[in-house]
């Protein structure tokens, strides 16, 4: 070994401490694979007085991340602060502009500013590595940027948020309602005190924006992602879809179409025979289809201290090997403008769940609305009166009606559901979930 790389870590939370521990625990193997020694010479965090269970003796403490990013005694700036704006963005921009390589786990920063950051990295001939930003220990960034670089990728479909997958798994296996399982997830640390970022689909969307760029060679365009969370999923939905041979997963989906690129995040019905149906708990999985590679599925731990630290260290080793890559797979100037696909018929069809007032003619009126939009129904499951669901104005109960819709334009289905809701035959808003049969 003829040289040594000096690391500066900004952020000593769960992941930062994990990076420290991994670098010390697997020291000999990491140095051998890197071809040089790696030394943490400086760190930065909000509070210097917290006992993190690691020995910082001999390491310079820096109070400001931007100061650390421009420091002469680091070669690689490791950003583990988080957030799309503020100190994280300023520090990463500063590091790149000062000729420092950057390793980050910050998906929000990349989803909103990745195009600009990659251009700065290219200008100063430094690396911007971010494997840890998407799906934890799963090497999906390296797979798209390197392993599948010769393929025309047609689709990327993934379970990209462990919190949502944990909640949906527990709801299905234990028969518990959403709010109950979410409360447990918060107690166990799977979900934040304010879980909106996860359960609303935003975390998945940040990761999908990055994968879309790498898969299709287009500029990152987070704002073009269609977004739905899992808040409306009920036990009635989970039981009904299981009887039909499906489970529900929150998916990030990116597909190349004739009219552009389709990006969407939403709950989806996945056939129980699909490999993605077997991904339970807090695990992640990504399915990629290339014209020569065929379909490839990668799965594993998508978050947590050890999986994320593993990805951070792998990125650092890549830099040590002088494995210089364009951050977004190709030069930013050669990335195609993002072209959003037009609305099209969804190939897998739809699941629709309705809480229908138990009154004469209600179901027939609902069927008529679908007919007006020329929507074909594959199957209908109609259950008896459910007195526990509440009573309507006439003192009657409600029926659970589940419909499976053949392929149709989503605009037509939404028009039909809007008319059904306006007619007053249902007690709650319709629940619509896309069916993904191609994975």
Question: pLDDT-based confidence at 346, cuts 50/70/90?
Answer: low
Beta strands in 368-430 (DSSP E): 377-386, 398-405
CATH 3.30.360.10 range(s) for the chain read 140-301
Answer with the residue of higher pLDDT: 224 or 342. Answer: 224
Q: Which of 12-21, 143-152, 259-268, 324-333 has the weakest average pLDDT?
A: 324-333
> What residue ranges of the chain are covered by domains with CATH 3.30.70.260?
350-435
Structure tokens at 240: 């009904």
What value does the mean pLDDT take over residues 158-163?
93
Question: Is it the case that residue 434 has pLDDT exceeding 70?
Answer: yes
- pLDDT reported for residue 128: 95
Q: What is the mean pLDDT of residues 102-130?
A: 96
Alpha helices in 64-150 (DSSP H): 65-69, 86-97, 107-123, 140-142
Q: Token match 């939009």: residue?
A: 373
- How far apart, in whole angstroms, are the C-alpha atoms of residue 338 and residue 137? 28
Q: Residue 267: is its pLDDT beyond 90?
A: yes
334 is catalytic: no
Which entry of 100, 207, 239, 306 is annotated as an active-site residue?
Answer: 207
**Helix (H, G, I), strand (E, B), or coil: what is residue 384?**
strand
In terms of DSSP bridges, do strands 260-271 and 226-227 run parallel, antiparallel, or are they unpaired?
parallel
Q: How far apart are CA 163 and CA 289, in angstroms?
A: 25
CA distances to 71, 104, 277, 391, 418 from 399, in Å: 66, 50, 28, 11, 19
Contact 412, 379 (CB under 8 A): no
d(CA 182, CA 169): 11
In this predicted model, what pLDDT tens digit does every residue of 200-241 receive, in sequence order? 999 999 999 999 999 999 999 999 999 999 998 989 899 989
| This model's pTM is above 0.85 | yes
Q: What is the pLDDT of residues 167-192, one digit of tens each?
A: 999 999 999 999 999 988 888 777 77
What CATH topology corresponds to 4-133?
Rossmann fold (3.40.50)
Residue 331's SS3 state is coil
**In whole angstroms, how far apart are CA 314 and each of 118, 130, 311?**
19, 10, 5
pLDDT confidence bin for 11, thresholds 50/70/90: very high
Topology of the domain covering 350-435 = Alpha-Beta Plaits (3.30.70)
1 pLDDT exceeds 80?
A: no
pLDDT tens by residue, 386-408: 444 445 444 567 888 888 888 88
**Edge-to-edge, what's the strand order for the sheet holding 4-10?**
60-61, 37-44, 4-10, 76-79, 101-104, 128-129
pLDDT at 40 over 60: yes
Tokens of 313: 């260290």
DSSP 257: E
DSSP H helices in 98-161 = 107-123, 140-142
Which two structure tokens, joined as six digits, stand for 401?
């009606």
Question: What pLDDT, on a 0 to 100 scale, did the predictor assign at position 3?
Answer: 75
Segments of 134-236 assigned E as strands? 153-159, 226-227
Question: Does the structure show a pLDDT above 60 at 268?
Answer: yes
Stretch 125-139: mean pLDDT: 93
pLDDT above 60 (res 357): yes
User: Over pLDDT 70: what percentage of the chain?
Assistant: 94
Residue range(s) in the chain whose domain bears CATH number 3.40.50.720:
4-133
Among 182-196, 231-245, 306-320, the minimum mean pLDDT is found in 182-196
| pLDDT tens, position by position, 94-114 | 999 999 999 999 999 999 999
Burial class, 120, CB count within 10 angstroms (exposed 0-12 / middle 13-18 / buried 19+) = buried
pLDDT of residue 396: 62
Query: Which residues are CB-neighbours of 189 under 8 A, at least 6 positions away?
Result: none
pLDDT, the chain, mean: 89
pLDDT, residue 389, reads 44
pLDDT above 90: percentage of residues in the chain: 59
Question: Highest mean pLDDT: which of 61-65, 303-307, 324-328?
Answer: 61-65
Q: Which CATH number fits domain 140-301: 3.30.360.10, 3.20.20.60, 3.30.9.10, 3.40.50.280?
A: 3.30.360.10
Q: Compute CA distances 154 → 214, 253, 294, 309, 375, whole Å.
A: 12, 11, 10, 30, 28
């Amino acid at each position: 070994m003829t040289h040594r790389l000096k690391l500066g870590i900004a952020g000593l939370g769960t992941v930062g401490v994990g990076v420290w521990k991994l670098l010390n625990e697997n020291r000999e193997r990491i140095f051998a694979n890197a071809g040089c020694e790696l030394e943490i010479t400086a760190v930065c965090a909000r509070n210097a007085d917290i006992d993190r269970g690691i020995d910082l003796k001999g390491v310079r403490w820096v109070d400001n991340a931007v100061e650390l990013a421009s420091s002469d005694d680091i070669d690689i700036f490791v950003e583990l602060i988080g957030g799309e704006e503020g100190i994280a963005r300023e520090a990463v921009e500063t590091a790149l502009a000062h000729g420092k390589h950057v390793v980050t786990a910050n998906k929000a920063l990349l989803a909103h500013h990745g195009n600009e950051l990659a251009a700065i990295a290219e200008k100063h001939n430094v690396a911007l590595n971010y494997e840890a930003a998407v799906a934890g220990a799963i090497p999906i960034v390296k797979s798209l940027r390197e392993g599948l670089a010769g393929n025309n990728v047609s689709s990327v479909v993934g379970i990209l948020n462990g919190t949502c997958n944990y909640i949906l798994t527990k709801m299905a296996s234990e028969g518990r309602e959403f709010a109950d399982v979410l409360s447990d997830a918060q107690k166990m640390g799977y979900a934040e005190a304010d879980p909106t970022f996860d359960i609303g689909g935003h975390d998945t969307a940040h990761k999908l924006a990055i994968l879309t760029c790498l898969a299709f060679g287009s500029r990152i365009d987070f704002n073009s992602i269609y977004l739905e969370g899992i808040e409306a999923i009920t036990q009635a939905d989970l039981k009904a879809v299981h009887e039909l041979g499906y489970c529900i997963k929150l998916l990030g989906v990116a597909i190349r179409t004739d009219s552009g690129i389709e990006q969407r995040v939403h709950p989806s019905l996945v056939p129980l025979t699909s490999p993605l149906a077997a991904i339970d708990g807090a695990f992640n999985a990504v399915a990629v289809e290339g014209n020569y590679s065929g379909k490839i599925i990668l799965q594993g731990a998508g978050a947590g201290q050890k999986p994320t630290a593993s990805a951070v260290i792998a990125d650092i080793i890549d830099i040590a090997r002088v494995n210089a890559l364009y951050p977004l797979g190709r030069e930013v100037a050669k990335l195609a403008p993002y072209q959003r696909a037009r609305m099209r018929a969804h190939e897998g069809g739809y699941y629709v769940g309705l809480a229908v007032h138990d009154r004469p003619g209600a179901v027939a009126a609902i069927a008529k609305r679908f007919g007006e939009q020329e929507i074909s129904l594959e199957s209908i499951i109609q259950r008896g009166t459910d007195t526990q669901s509440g009573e309507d104005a006439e003192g009657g109960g409600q029926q659970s009606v589940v419909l499976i819709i053949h392929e149709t334009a989503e605009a037509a289905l939404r028009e039909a559901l809007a008319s059904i809701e306006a007619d007053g035959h249902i007690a709650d808003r319709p629940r619509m979930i896309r069916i993904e049969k191609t994975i």
